[in-house]
Amino acid sequence: MDLKTVIRTIPDYPKPGIMFRDVTTLLSDARGFRRAIDELVQPLAGAKIDKVAGIEARGFILGGAIAHQLSVGFAPIRKKGKLPFKTISETYELEYGVDEVELHVDAVRKGDKVLLVDDLIATGGTASAAIRLLERAGAEIVLCSFVVDLPELGGADRLRKMGKDVVALVSFDGH
């Protein structure tokens, strides 16, 4: 199965000229979803992973399924103000302005080996902030995994320049 065939493309969303890659169609396809999870877990064969960290919101779905498959815990990385306990936060730049992600202070422990997961890597701003956040909490990022890479936007290369290994199941030209 070619996973690209079960990922919907929505032209001109959220603004003209953008080709939005919608993984909800992949998530709703039982075979496609299972295949994606299996392929995201495969590079970790033999690796020690303590936690899976998923970036809000589709990273929660993928990360939860991967954590279950690996029999490890899950750490949610959320937008500011969404977590109920004490948090640490990391700010990052958007095209117009800034945003912030947070992690509970006890979500990972010093020395935890963590897999970072999200549905898509574009410019890498959110993922870079998530990496900095996890590392400030004492975690070691073993791998950054995504279903979709938009290579023209440079996000995966940005993470590699941070010294991180990056895996994406499919890539789409254009954005």
As a whole number of angstroms, the distance between CA 58 and CA 23 comes to 8
Residues 116, 146: contact at Cβ < 8 Å? no
69 CA to centre of own chain: 17
Name the active-site residue from 21, 56, 95, 102: 95
136 is catalytic: no
Which among 8, 31, 35, 58 is annotated as catalytic? 58
62 vs 59: CA distance, rounded Å: 5
What is the helix, strand, coil percentage profile of the chain, to 5?
Answer: 35, 35, 30
Cβ neighbors of 69 (< 8 A, separation 6 or more) are 37, 38, 41
Straight-line distance from the first to the last Cα atom of the chain, in angstroms, rounded to the nearest whole number:
23
Q: Look up 132 and say whether it is catalytic.
A: no
Q: Which residues are catalytic?
A: 58, 95
